[in-house]
Structure 1
Amino acid sequence: MAALPIHGASLLFLRMPPNASLHGVAVDHLMLWNLAALLPCFVAAQAWIIFAMVRRKKAAVLKTYSHLVERLLLAAFCAMYLWMAITAQHLWAVNRFEGASAESMQVEVVGQQFQWYFRYPGADAAFGIARPSLVNAAAGNPLGLDPQDARGADDIVSSVLVLPLGREVDLRLRSLDVIHGFFIPAMRLKENTVPGLVLHVHFTPIAVGTYPILCSQVCGSGHARMQAQLRVVSPDAYRQWLQQHAKEHSR
């Protein structure tokens, strides 16, 4: 895995792996600022509790100060949470409510107990139709691709998510059975796959390497085994990988 710049504060407070996505920098900054804002309030609240326990004898004076401090702390918390909501909403909207660019590459992510599948459109840049009634992993059709649909004839299905460095990718997520949580910690990316829905999330990888893909929703007895890998490679290496898999698929 390529060496990434390590931000000491990020690792100290968040215990997160080094960021490897374009939007991850803003996510880390938001989380660190939130922690920095919460810390003084937490310390002040605990200090006031200790002070109140020690100064029990001066109950009348303490009661007057107590009401004042309570109002000040409540006002500080309200202002802080309002600021958090406004800043977080903007970042959330960029990744969830605003669509990916027209030049972004399309990849489908499918969750099924207890496996992740990744489908790439072929040369026609279109996904073929997938039908639940045709799902048959033993027969080599884990996603239920319709053989009668010509658009799916060149689709590539992989158990590893391979992406080119520096290019935005638009993931369309769906599930074949229960709710799964598609989670790539290094990309600061988490989104559920929900049966009957197709959800989208987009990001841009900025560091070559291999990163774990996890399931963040308890989806059954094999939940802990539901893992995969994201491999971010150079654009040339990605083209070679795509060509190789296209040849294997056409055999």
Structure 2
Amino acid sequence: MVITGDNKKTAEAICQKIGVLTASDVESSSFTGSEFVSLPRSKQISILKESRGCVFSRAEPRHKQDIVRLLKELGEITAMTGDGVNDAPALKLADIGVAMGISEPDSCAAAGLIPVQLLWVNLVTDGPPATALGFNKPDLGIMNKPPRKSDEMLISTWVFFRYLVVGMYVGFATVGVFCSWFMYDNFMGIDLSKDGHTPVTYNQLTHWQSCSEWEGFKASGYSTSNGGHVTFDNPCDYFTVSKPIRTQRCTARSQHR
């Protein structure tokens, strides 16, 4: 039995090729998800019991669940495979749910999640990129440009150079912001001393693992953006406990700006 979201004709052609259907079975054993669920229950049971092979196309997640549920009610041991988020509800309902994929598939990560959580994942992961693409300026004259050569490299020398420069810039900027908080009270005109943290030297920052061997090192507590205060029973905790707190502080500062 094949349940797919593909077009009906496409599903029928593939199923005939792999031997699930024969040309004579197409009319009696091929349905879209909406066609099948609209049939009387007795007819649905008859189709599932008597057909040698069935294909359900244009199936929505609820259609897959309905088919699996009906098979279980008939006493069948159901096994369901799938590789997408839309397969997760049926995978969870089946007696045996097999999430397929080269790497960790979406269906595996989504199985047990409730529908609202799945929608939230789609919104967060698909919404911002799609919005960004929607605001891209149109590439005027794109249809007048000749197609690329078939043997042309996807990443040209110029594109690689741009990636290299931008990557180095972002890397240095990220590490620089991280180090500046630990090392300075004032950095490029930005006052970093308001929270009362203890500045350290570059050598101390790059050798923080040996902090316990330093003599006389003290780390004062400091205030956080949400009004809290961080103190250290062990001065060396300054280099580990400070990391998540500092991230929250920088995030709050960015939002304020």
Tell me which interval the TM-score lies in, with the shorter structure as reference length: under 0.3
Scaled by the length of structure 1, the TM-score of the pair is 0.23
Give 1 or 2: higher strand fraction: 1
Give 1 or 2: higher helix fraction: 2
Scaled by the length of structure 2, the TM-score of the pair is 0.23
Larger radius of gyration: 2
